Amino acid sequence: MALAETLATPEFKRRALSGAAAAGRLLISVFVTILGLLALTFFIGRMLPLDPVVVILGDDASQESIDKLVAKLGLDQPLYIQFATYVRDALTFDFGVSLTSGRPVIEDIARVFPATVELATISLVFGVLIGVPLGVLAAARAGTWVDHTIRIVGLVGYSAPNFWLGLMGLVLFYATLGWVGGPGRIDFVFQYDLEIWSGFYLIDAARMGRWDIFGDVFSRIVLPASILAYGALAYIARMTRSFMLEQLGQEYVTAARVKGASEARVIWRHAFPNIAVQLATVIALSYAFLLEGAVLTETVFAWPGFGRYLTTALLRADMNAVLGCTLIVGLIFIGLNLLTDVFYRVFDPRTR
């Protein structure tokens, strides 16, 4: 059938209309969510008993100076006008200037976000590569000591505070064994040498062909990434086990076994593909949580990332930075949820 004929068929038109309507609904839903997020962050920010004007001017500032700055920042305007201004600026990613760093918030986020993305991505890779096979193994050996061991290991990863794990990891692997680098993203001897191109130090070092810097950066990221990965893998393994147990109880699995398929084939070729979509959601959520910022891990490892930036901003009443970061976190969750939805629609025919 020619393309023109295909496009003219009522069936295609119906599908196209249906798709457009779904996309429209999705866009409206995203827009409303973002607007809600903006409203929530803005009004919570205004309700907090913190005074950004004093943070800028200092504790000794006179009331006259305070009044002038309040007017300059528009804080004397009615709330709805302040909100409208905030939405207008936020839609262009203009979050104002950070009181914490003195730079535009968006520049700060662009600076700290790669540090967190680099850490979170490596953590997620570790978490998925170890967590998924462990979850599958636990399901396949459900009720045995293997299952129990994996569940206990997962439980520890799920419940042990990262702060404590981080410090213990530093004491053992950095201070005692000397296997990894200490706190910080890069050793100071390389501080001058690394040309920041992407903000991802591993990539920047590789791009320069400076493998000594690459090694230093890697030796510093491996421990915090492993600790974060431990928490992520615990979650991924638990969920994988749960999904797999459900699938392994299905009739089609019994049928495959009756037909003589090997256990490995039953698991990896028959059952596993059926949990892929659910697993994608779990992995996406894990990534979102990692990106949101592992504040305590970043604190212990002196990691100049997003989570610590947000926390510092909050403690210093830097509301521009807090609102900007909150919006970015919201957008990450919305973006990853959207991605998961799309993934579902593509790979799961029941959702179409």
By rule CB under 8 A, what count of residues binds another protein?
70
Helix count and strand count (H, E) for the chain: 16, 0
When the beta carbons of 133 and 184 are compared against another protein, the nearer one is 184
Q: Do the beta carbons of residue 339 and residue 281 sit within 8 Å? A: no
Binding pattern for the stretch 180-219 against another protein, x by CB under 8 A and - elsewhere: xxxxxx-xxx-x-------------xx--x-xxxxxxxxx
Orientation of helix 272-292 relative to helix 306-315, angle to 10°: 40
- What residue type is 226 in one-letter code? S
Per CB under 8 A, the list member of 27, 302, 342, 346 interacting with another protein is: 302
Report the site for another protein in 221-260 (rule: CB under 8 A).
222
Q: Do the beta carbons of residue 224 and residue 305 sit within 8 Å? A: no
Per CB under 8 A, the list member of 227, 290, 314, 325 interacting with another protein is: 314
Per CB under 8 A, the list member of 30, 34, 61, 245 interacting with another protein is: 61
Binding pattern for the stretch 263-282 against another protein, x by CB under 8 A and - elsewhere: --------------------
Q: How far apart are CA 280 and CA 273, in angstroms?
A: 11
Q: What are phi and psi of 97, to 5 degrees?
A: -100, 135
Instruction: Give least dist CB 65 to another protein, A.
Output: 4
When the beta carbons of 193 and 263 are compared against another protein, the nearer one is 193
Both tokens of residue 160?
A: 């042990």
The C-alpha angle with vertex 119 and arms to 116 and 123, in degrees rounded to 5, equals 135
> Is the sign of the CA dihedral 143, 148, 150, 156 positive or negative?
positive
Q: Which residues bind another protein (CB under 8 A)?
A: 48-51, 54-66, 68, 98-103, 108, 111-112, 167, 170-171, 174-175, 177-185, 187-189, 191, 205-206, 209, 211-219, 222, 299-302, 304, 308-309, 312, 314-317
